[in-house]
Amino acid sequence: RDTATGRQRRLTDQNDHYEFYPSVSPDGRRVVYTTWDDQDLGSVRVAPIGGGASRVLTPEPGHYVEPRFSPDGSKIVYRKFTGGFLLAPFWSMEPGIYVVDAGGGEPVRVSESGFDAQFDAGGERVLFSESADITELALKSVDLAGNEERTHLQGAKVTEFSVSPDGRWVAFTEQYKAFVAPFARTG
């Protein structure tokens, strides 16, 4: 949307599948998003903001959500989940959180569980939320190879964590209230 005129412009120009979870690169030149089609399932794609063809980053169809760029725009993190019930159960093997180069390549699974992943401020670790039990949510991280897991925060009745782009603050919701606190990388 143009802030001066209020005119809206679509970033993609296809009608073959539905598009979800858009996230703009730090330099503002690309958008990463997921697709869905009931027959062909989904993918993670990157497209230039100015228009043009999108590039598929996932090597196989599947169930993909929540893609985000790294702070330097060189990598993308996303979540793959399983189908079943309302969604086709096909291509549901190896769910988890994945990291892939923004230019393409072989995705690396960094966690078998978790959701709402994002990179830390340096782009060296992947932060994600994970249910600790029925009433608690934990904010964890791993390195880009999926090693050195850390639990940074854990809270009863927390529903969401979000770390600031500079890595200095964490926002979270708890009991229908929003909070901001200093973020300690050590946990």
Do 17 and 34 touch, CB atoms closer than 8 A?
no
Task: Spell out the per-residue pLDDT of the chain, length 187, in tens.
Answer: 888 999 988 888 778 899 999 999 999 999 999 999 888 889 999 999 988 889 999 999 999 999 999 999 999 999 998 876 666 677 678 889 999 999 999 999 999 999 999 999 999 999 999 998 778 999 999 999 999 999 999 998 899 999 999 999 999 999 899 999 999 877 6
101: exposed, middle or buried (Cβ count in 10 Å: 0-12, 13-18, 19+): middle
C-alpha triplet 103, 106, 112: angle, nearest 5°: 120
| 162 strand-pairing partners | 171
Determine the pLDDT at residue 56: 94
What 8-state DSSP symbol labels residue 62?
B
Q: Establish how many alpha carbons lie within 13 A of residue 102's alpha carbon, considering only the half-sphere containing its beta carbon.
A: 22
